[in-house]
């Protein structure tokens, strides 16, 4: 399948509710370097389970390498590095914040991803304890800086939370996402509350929802624009730090 291919870039999301890492498996079996832009916790863990096979085959394989959690995880690592230099310890807390206006230029894929995430419990960490929270709850109003301003963001189950806890050893970690126009957030919250989880966890039914909502989202893209921003903040005993993109 990958004959005469130098690198496989897997960007065919959404990755939520995918049961197998088929593209990665083929890449390893054909000794083809691999990278994906996965943004799903379960898929990322599945991909990481192929670590030994990739090493044995001497195949470079990188998962979750998109804008987030890829770049945002690098931002988090930089904050942890700075904290270690300043105080010789990791931060007490890391928070990931994301904002996307309309579809963010990603089309129906981000809509499908968002709906599928609304069917998942949010995994976060509080002082070293793993906690499960309701999706699209825990609203915070976050300043994303010039051009974006303050936006409401809500809890979602994202893979960078687990890696920040396990790899960066930060005891309190969470991730939040918000969108525009502002009433889309109301809609997301309503879907998370009112639509049965069984529907939100089935890709075929979510695709039906996407077909209904995507034309509406595209209309409002012309009003809200197609922008995205992210902010990663860390806190230790004395200071609050953050990086923005």
Summarised one tens digit per residue, pLDDT across range 137-184 is 999 999 998 888 999 999 999 999 999 999 999 999 999 999 888 888
- Residues sharing a CB contact under 8 Å with residue 245, sequence separation 6 or more, in sequence order: 67, 71, 72, 75, 229, 230, 231
Q: Which residues pair with 242 in a beta bridge?
A: 233
Residue 244: its pLDDT value, please?
A: 54
Tell me the average pLDDT across 13-28. Answer: 90
User: Quick one: three-class SS letters along the chain?
Assistant: CCCCCCCEEECCCCCCCCCCCHHHHHHHHCCCCEEECCCCHHHHHHHHCCHHHHHHHCCCEECCCCHHHHHHHHHHHHHHHHHHHHHCCCCCEEEEEEEEECCCCCCHHHHHHHHHHCCCCEEEEECCEEEEECCCCCCEEEECCCCCCEEEEEECCCHHHHHHHHCCCCCEEEEEEEEECHHHHHHHHHHHHHCCHHHHCCHHHHHHHHHHHHHHHHHHHHHHCCCEEEEEEEECCCCEEEEEC
Q: What does the alpha-carbon distance between residue 75 and residue 219 come to, in Å, rounded to a whole number?
A: 33
Residues 186-216: pLDDT tens digits?
989 999 999 999 999 888 888 888 888 888 7
Q: How far is CA 141 from the centre of its chain?
A: 19
The residue ranges of every structural domain in the chain are: 8-62, 88-244
For the chain, give the percent of residues with pLDDT over 70. Answer: 91
Residue 44: its pLDDT value, please?
A: 92
Token pair of 28 as six digits: 């390893």
Residue 176: its pLDDT value, please?
A: 96
Residue 18: its pLDDT value, please?
A: 85
Average pLDDT, the chain: 88
Residue 95: its pLDDT value, please?
A: 96
Q: Which residues pair with 36 in a beta bridge?
A: 10
For the chain, give the percent of residues with pLDDT over 90. Answer: 57
Q: What does the alpha-carbon distance between residue 102 and residue 227 come to, in Å, rounded to a whole number?
A: 8
Q: What does the alpha-carbon distance between residue 133 and residue 150 come to, in Å, rounded to a whole number?
A: 24
Residues 64-84: pLDDT tens digits?
999 888 999 999 999 999 988
Q: Say which CATH architecture domain 88-244 belongs to.
A: 2-Layer Sandwich (3.30)
């Amino acid at each position: 399948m990958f004959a005469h291919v130098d690198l496989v870039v897997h960007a065919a999301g959404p990755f939520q509710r995918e049961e197998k890492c088929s593209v990665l498996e083929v890449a390893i079996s054909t000794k083809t370097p691999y990278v994906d832009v996965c943004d799903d916790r379960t898929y990322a863990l599945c991909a990481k389970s192929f670590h030994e096979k990739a090493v044995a085959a001497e195949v470079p394989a990188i998962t979750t390498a998109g804008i987030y959690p890829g770049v945002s995880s690098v931002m988090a690592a930089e904050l942890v590095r700075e904290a270690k230099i300043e105080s010789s310890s990791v931060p007490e807390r890391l928070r990931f914040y994301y904002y996307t206006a309309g579809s963010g230029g990603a089309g129906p894929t981000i809509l499908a991803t968002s709906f599928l995430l609304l069917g998942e419990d949010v995994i976060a960490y509080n002082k070293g304890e793993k906690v499960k929270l309701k999706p699209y709850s825990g609203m915070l109003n976050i300043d994303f800086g010039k051009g974006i301003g303050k936006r409401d963001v809500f809890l979602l189950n994202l893979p960078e939370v687990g890696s920040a806890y396990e790899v960066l050893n930060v005891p309190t970690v969470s991730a939040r996402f918000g969108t525009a126009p502002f009433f889309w957030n109301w809609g997301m919250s309503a879907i998370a509350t009112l639509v049965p989880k069984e529907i939100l966890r089935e890709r075929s039914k979510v695709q039906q929802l996407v077909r209904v909502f995507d034309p509406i989202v595209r209309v409002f893209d012309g009003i809200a624009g197609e922008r995205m921003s992210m902010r990663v903040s860390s806190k230790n005993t004395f200071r609050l730090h953050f990086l923005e993109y």
